[in-house]
Structure 1
Amino acid sequence: IARLNADGSLDAGFSLGTGANDRIFTASVQSNGTIIIGGSFTFYNGTAINRIARLNTDGSLDTGFNTNTGANAQVFAASIQPSGKIIIGGHFTSYNGTNINHIARLNVDGSLDTGFNSGTGPNNSVSKIFLQPNGKLIIIGLFTSYNGTEIKGIARLNADGSLDTSFNPVLGSYASIMTVAFQPDGKLIIVGSFTFFNDSKINYIARLNSDGSLDSEYNTGTGTSNTILTAFIQPDGKLVIGGQFTFYNGIAVKPIVRLNVDGTLDTDFNPEIGMINSIMTAILQPGGKIIIKGNFISLGTVTRRIARLNADGSLDTSFNDGTGPNQRVFTVTLQPDGKLLVGGDFTSYNGIALNHIARLNTDGSIDSTFNPGTGSNNTVRTAVLQPDGKIIIGGDFTSYDNVSRVRINRLLNS
């Protein structure tokens, strides 16, 4: 992890020593600027700390955040409640020596909140946690039960960690939910890799009522032909989905489509970007344009990994990143000014040597004011913007611009 200045230079005020000794999967910035990190690491700057830690604003380990023996396996997700307490999810089965399966709540000092009553919890890992305005939690993961009650892939928890039994979705076996999109009316749309819901054939997408039952008025027909990886709801209520599919309700489509509010295909959205293998991420910009990340061919035979679509799905030719990155992109972060932070395992971008991180102007060109020097020496997997504009990056790297930075760093953003 690292912190960068706005110009991409290493933030020398972010001093993390030897950093984390293994991967960081999640990073969340608290209101006071401290940073919660979770992953598979067991040391931070030479101090034993198991898989969850809090960093001071200067990158040093916050020793006031006392996790003791911490989590005994990976932490994949961390969400900060308005109270400052932290919900963590992952593959762990104990925290600080206390048996607690795959989800826990921590007090602001890092100790286990025993008032969070998950019982035996989920029986397998939790991958994402969504905080709802009413204090309840939606969790998704590989679990098939929660505290002994059968519930597959998605569950809603009360504020005290108990299972909300009024929310009872019935997914088929081997279901995997990739993400959830929340409607203002309390309904939620789930997408992922599933083909049954409550014994009804339903392919990869469903809308649930607030009680978790299937919303039969959401008419997806036969759904998609393969996994959906990303989804967001537009201000007009329409849903954009992307993934690995080639059909929607029997109609041949590119693997990004827009659905009307009733689940039918919006035929006014027609992506014209050539052959596409998959869309991994789709991000809505304030003006209605859509940034997509994936593997696709456009503009003849040019292989691209990032593009921008107009609101009707057509390729926005004013966004031109040239030949783009020479390898995969794992993270795309939209800045408030419209610029894009891009991280991955690439070593050049549009023919310019840029190791694993770059910033693009609003037209897709390389932002030459963002100067990461030699960049990171390995993959950048995540990037988080702080309120002050500085950038936290995490990944597999052990140095940034030839300075030792192990898997976490902060960059200035000026």
Structure 2
Amino acid sequence: MKYTYLLFVAFCLLFFWGCKEDKTLSENPYNGGAKPLGIGFNAVIPPVPIDGSSGTTVTFTASGLLKYKGAISFSFNGEEAEIIDIQDNAIVVKVPAMASSGAVSIMVEDQVFYGPQFKVLGKVMIDPFYKAINGANNLVRSYLKLDDGRYILTGSFSDYNGQANEASPIRRIVLTSASGELDRSLRFGSGADDQINSVIQSPNKQNFYVGGRFSSYDRMNRFISNITRTTVNGTADSIRVNTYSTPFNGKQITVPAFSGGISGSVLKLFNSGNQLIAVGNFSHYVKRNYTNGRTIVITNPLTQEQFFVYKDSITTDSISMKQLIRFNPDGTLDKSFHFNAATGRSYEGGNGSINAAFQQADGKIILVGSFSRFNELPSGRIVRVNPDGTLDNTFNVGTGANASISSITYNEISKKFLITGTFGTFNNLPAKGLAMLNQDGSLDANFVAKDFANGYPSYAKQISNGMIIISGGFKKYSNVKRSGFIILTETGLLAPGYNTAGDFSGSIYDIIEGKNAENKTSLILLGSISKFDGKPINNITCISFTEE
């Protein structure tokens, strides 16, 4: 009993001291909606002016600032601003040179107080003349520009601009005007059952070739292995062929006119004279054999009369072809390209994946990826192959990149390549995820990439005015907040006035440069994009330059 009493007394003492200690703590500033430190933006009164460019003086209505006057910092979307004046109910600040659109904030004693969204005006805007307002419902991967200025877009989407319907489906391929309007003059039918990564047109303009990872296209729902040919109007190109049973029953079957395929995904297609080259991460060339079959003899047990049943047995022949292949126009394999006649198979290709490819005007193709060896030779994640598929030893990349390369693009005016990836050096020289190469593959020392924070660039393209568009998973560039999208000068600096757009989310896979209705530079961004300038985007949008 005495022991129980002592426990009770101890408990009471602990409770008393706990309550006493609790009374010495500061009251939770968020209880009852109280403002921490008594600071807060006025949610009703907008800033004056409501938007502005770099250097603009802006007044924000806020309370409780004077007593913290010496300890306040102010930021525009994470970029610290110069404070001009602090009053008890307002703060006057100057928009920083590298500010971008987004929420403003005040920081005092490690506490952050967020205010309204502020639009920083700059030289880039979402183009008001582009018609694809609703975008696509999935990845837009690539494009083909036709001679008349229209575009064929490909990807993983099953709707474009909200205009797909049961009678007129849109599946992984669509034709648009230069301004993004849907054009149904090409008859893609039911499209592909999975992603289309690349499309090219034959030199005689009579066919299109599409490649990716799909097994059906339009009305051809069998005998396709990731690549096929269409007619001039976009429908599946097909032929009638004899099978094993044809001599006996006179029946033929409809099959793709393009007889070949591959055992993996096509990343990119290129024309090669009247032939075509496929680049990707595949291992075999495949071709259907429609002439195999067997005859089944059935004997009537009563009359001993025999009946013959002819069964077709369509088989698939294959040849080992790694990552590179050249087809004849009908889909048969060209064994003069990337092929070792002594072994009856292709050369080894890369020991890692190919992530991107570019074809030069002379027919040579540059491949980039995660491979450190190609055709059993050291490669540094980048190689150039000759028109016959052999390695080009004149490509002067040295040791190449020390980690994976994700993209490569080329500018016809500057004659420079841009590569992006997770690498930190190129040919043993610093190159922080982004590098500019000369035509011979050597590093361009005039371009110096700054530090990317919290991620890497995944795509870069230099446009005709010399500026460089970059996207990726990074959060800062050169210690300036830029959420995944930046525009640089030719030397690698943030282009003044071109980096005011708000937050970006997603990945850019390609960019179409053109002119908008006011003859201003416009850039159609293709990819897996959910946000640009803080606004929702469905995988395709167009931006334009207000000044150049």
TM-score, normalised via structure 2 length? 0.56
Q: Secondary structure at the match of 1:150?
A: coil
CA distance in structure 1 between the partners assigned to 2:391 and 2:140 by the alignment: 37
How far the C-alpha of 1:306 sits from its partner, in A, is: 1.0
- Residue 96 of structure 1 corresponds to 165
Trace 1:14-413 onto structure 2 (pairs within 5 A).
14=127, 34-36=130-132, 40=136, 51=137, 89=154, 90-92=156-158, 95-98=164-167, 100=169, 102=171, 110=182, 116=187, 118=189, 121-132=191-202, 134-146=205-217, 147-165=220-238, 166-172=257-263, 175-183=264-272, 185-198=273-286, 199-219=318-338, 221-272=347-398, 275-286=401-412, 287-298=414-425, 304-324=432-452, 326-367=454-495, 369-373=496-500, 375-379=502-506, 381=508, 383-387=511-515, 388-393=520-525, 396=529, 398=531, 400=533, 405-407=535-537, 408=541, 410-412=543-545, 413=547
Q: State the identity %.
A: 23
Read off the aligned partner of 1:187 and give its amino acid letter: Q
CA distance in structure 1 between the partners assigned to 2:411 and 2:140 by the alignment: 30
How far the C-alpha of 1:222 sits from its partner, in A, is: 2.0
How far the C-alpha of 1:158 sits from its partner, in A, is: 0.4
How far the C-alpha of 1:216 sits from its partner, in A, is: 0.9
How far the C-alpha of 1:116 sits from its partner, in A, is: 2.1
Distance 1:356 1:98, change over 3 A: same
> Does structure 2 retain, via aligned residues, the 8 Å contact 1:340–1:359?
yes
How far the C-alpha of 1:319 sits from its partner, in A, is: 1.6
Distance 1:381 1:101, change over 3 A: closer
Q: Residues 273-317 of structure 1: CA distance to partner in whole angstroms, max 9, x if unpaired?
A: 665322221122335432111121217695621101223322222
CA distance in structure 1 between the partners assigned to 2:227 and 2:378 by the alignment: 30
CA distance in structure 2 between the partners assigned to 1:260 and 1:380 by the alignment: 31
How far the C-alpha of 1:132 sits from its partner, in A, is: 4.3
Q: How many residues get paired?
A: 351
* Structure 1: gaps (5+ residues): 16-32, 41-50, 52-72
CA distance in structure 2 between the partners assigned to 1:187 and 1:237 by the alignment: 12
> Does structure 2 retain, via aligned residues, the 8 Å contact 1:38–1:75?
no
How far the C-alpha of 1:356 sits from its partner, in A, is: 2.6
**Structure with greater helix percent:** 2
> Does structure 2 retain, via aligned residues, the 8 Å contact 1:77–1:128?
yes
* Structure 2: gaps (5+ residues): 1-100, 102-120, 239-256, 287-317, 340-346
Read off the aligned partner of 2:425 and give its amino acid letter: S
Distance 1:323 1:190, change over 3 A: same
CA distance in structure 2 between the partners assigned to 1:321 and 1:74 by the alignment: 28
Distance 1:301 1:253, change over 3 A: closer
Tell me whether 190-199 or 234-243 shows the greater mean CA deviation.
234-243
CA distance in structure 1 between the partners assigned to 2:535 and 2:507 by the alignment: 12
TM-score, normalised via structure 1 length? 0.72
Moved over 6 A (4+): 83-86, 106-109
How far the C-alpha of 1:103 sits from its partner, in A, is: 5.2
- Residue 71 of structure 2 corresponds to none
CA distance in structure 1 between the partners assigned to 2:174 and 2:542 by the alignment: 26
> Does structure 1 retain, via aligned residues, the 8 Å contact 2:354–2:367?
yes
